[in-house]
């Protein structure tokens, strides 16, 4: 265990600690050790983690503010705060990463590889708050194996988490108040399990996936998304989303009207456009307003779907789930589509 203060870091919120923290990390690389940041606010530019090195702190952040061991961005020209590129087997735990809204497109944690390489990345990000960045909270670009657990990814100007890659576990996290999606995957992406996450008040949508495959989306609570709670869409080259299970999720107050949507069909809980080998079952959908009974009711539609093949949409409950229609079938389906036993009702906004 190496304490960053032993290398000259000062947690007074005034001193640039980049060089001191980097020295501690570089020293830890020799023994595959762990670097500890005590309580305090440490101003930094980009910190580069090394293979099989841990960087940990004491997590006492709250829902609305930073706290504990805080690494605060002080360089608006930085590409990111923590660079995990090439840091195979690294661990980031118990830190508060505060972007302060500085710069343009500055990410909190970044993996940025030119190709997938020959080795699994296997970073573990655990118990961290990653917020207030002008880019994505966490961007994993050509990632291969990763775990994200027990974190709060919040108030970022881009996605909460953006993934290009595969083989990931995303478990028991908060994705709150990001301007784009809580989780977004728009390039090649596959083989990800998302379970037990709370995904709320994200502008573009809750979970937005283009052309992905082999996902397990189970037991998530998705609230007040600007677009769909879950959107499975065709990717580049009209690649379908395929081999998904979407089960046991609560989808609430999607299509929030205070966010700009790209298409009227995004005013829904669930959008399936070009999916195959996918089952959507056992989910609970409900319309709603802003907290305290304020604002407009949403969404207008519950489930919008088209161009499906070998899909099952069955046994979902939708009592008072939309203001206009429950199931919007836009056609274009192939063989083997089962749509049955989805029960529910629309809500009259005047009655509530």
Q: Residues 21-71: pLDDT tens digits?
A: 999 999 999 999 999 999 999 999 999 999 999 999 999 999 989 999 999
279/244 Cα distance (integer angstroms): 6
Is pLDDT of 263 > 90? Answer: no
pLDDT tens digit sequence for 161-186 = 999 999 999 999 999 999 999 999 99
82/72 Cα distance (integer angstroms): 11
Residue 96, C-beta contacts closer than 8 angstroms, at least 6 positions apart: 57, 59, 61, 66, 67, 68, 69, 70, 71, 128, 129
Is pLDDT of 195 > 90? Answer: yes
24 three-state secondary structure: helix
The chain-wide mean pLDDT, for the chain, equals: 96
Is pLDDT of 261 > 90? Answer: no
pLDDT of residue 235: 81
Q: Measured between alpha carbons, how far apart are the two ends of the chain, in Å?
A: 57
Domain ranges of the chain: 1-179, 202-352
224/206 Cα distance (integer angstroms): 8
Compute CA distances 125 → 20, 63, 165, 271, whole Å.
22, 18, 16, 30
53/55 Cα distance (integer angstroms): 7
pLDDT tens digit sequence for 328-339 = 999 999 999 999
Residue 257, C-beta contacts closer than 8 angstroms, at least 6 positions apart: 295, 296, 298
pLDDT of residue 210: 97
Q: Are 242 and 278 in contact (CB under 8 A)?
A: yes
Is pLDDT of 346 > 80? Answer: yes
**β pairing state of 47-48 and 250-252:** unpaired
Q: In this structure, which CATH number among 3.40.50.720, 3.90.70.10, 2.40.160.50, 2.160.20.10 belongs to the domain 1-179?
A: 2.160.20.10
pLDDT of residue 290: 95
Residue 21, C-beta contacts closer than 8 angstroms, at least 6 positions apart: 4, 7, 9, 35, 37, 42, 44, 47, 71
The upper half-sphere exposure of residue 264, i.e. CA atoms within 13 Å in the direction of its Cβ, equals 4
Which band of pLDDT confidence, cut at 50, 70 and 90, is reported for residue 341? Answer: very high
Determine the average pLDDT of the residues in 125-135.
Answer: 98
53/90 Cα distance (integer angstroms): 5
Tokens of 24: 């501690």
96/41 Cα distance (integer angstroms): 9
Which band of pLDDT confidence, cut at 50, 70 and 90, is reported for residue 324? Answer: very high
């Amino acid at each position: 265990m190496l304490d960053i203060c032993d290398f000259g870091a000062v947690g007074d919120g005034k001193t640039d600690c980049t060089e001191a923290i980097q020295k501690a990390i570089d020293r830890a690389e020799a023994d595959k050790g762990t670097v500890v940041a005590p309580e305090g606010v440490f101003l930094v530019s980009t910190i580069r983690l090394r293979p099989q090195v841990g960087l940990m702190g004491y997590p006492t952040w709250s829902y609305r503010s930073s706290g504990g061991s805080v690494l605060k961005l002080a360089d608006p020209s930085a590409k990111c705060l923590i660079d995990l590129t090439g840091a195979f087997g690294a661990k980031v735990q118990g830190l508060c990463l505060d972007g302060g809204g500085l710069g343009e497109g500055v990410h909190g944690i970044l993996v940025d590889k030119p190709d997938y390489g020959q080795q699994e990345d296997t970073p573990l990000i655990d118990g961290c708050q990653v917020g207030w960045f002008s880019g994505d909270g966490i961007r994993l670009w050509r990632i291969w194996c990763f775990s994200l657990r027990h974190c709060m990814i919040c108030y970022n100007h881009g996605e909460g988490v953006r993934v290009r890659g595969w083989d990931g576990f995303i478990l028991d996290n908060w994705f709150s108040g990001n301007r784009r999606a809580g989780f977004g995957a728009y390039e090649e992406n596959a083989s990800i399990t998302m379970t037990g996450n709370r995904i709320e008040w994200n502008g573009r949508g809750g979970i937005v996936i283009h052309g992905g495959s082999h996902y397990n989306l189970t037991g998530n609570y998705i609230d007040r998304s600007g677009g769909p709670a879950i959107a499975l869409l065709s990717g580049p080259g009209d690649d379908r989303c395929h081999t998904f299970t979407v089960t046991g999720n609560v989808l609430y107050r999607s299509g929030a009207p205070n966010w700009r949507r790209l298409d009227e069909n995004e005013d829904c809980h669930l959008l399936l456009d070009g999916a195959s080998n996918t089952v959507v079952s056992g989910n609970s959908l409900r319309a709603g307003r802003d907290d305290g009974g304020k604002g407009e009711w949403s969404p207008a539609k519950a489930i919008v779907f088209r161009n499906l093949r070998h899909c099952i949409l069955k046994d979902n409950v939708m009592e008072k789930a939309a203001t206009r229609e429950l199931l919007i079938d836009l056609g274009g389906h192939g063989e083997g589509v089962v749509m049955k036993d989805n029960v529910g009702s629309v809500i009259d906004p005047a009655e509530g």
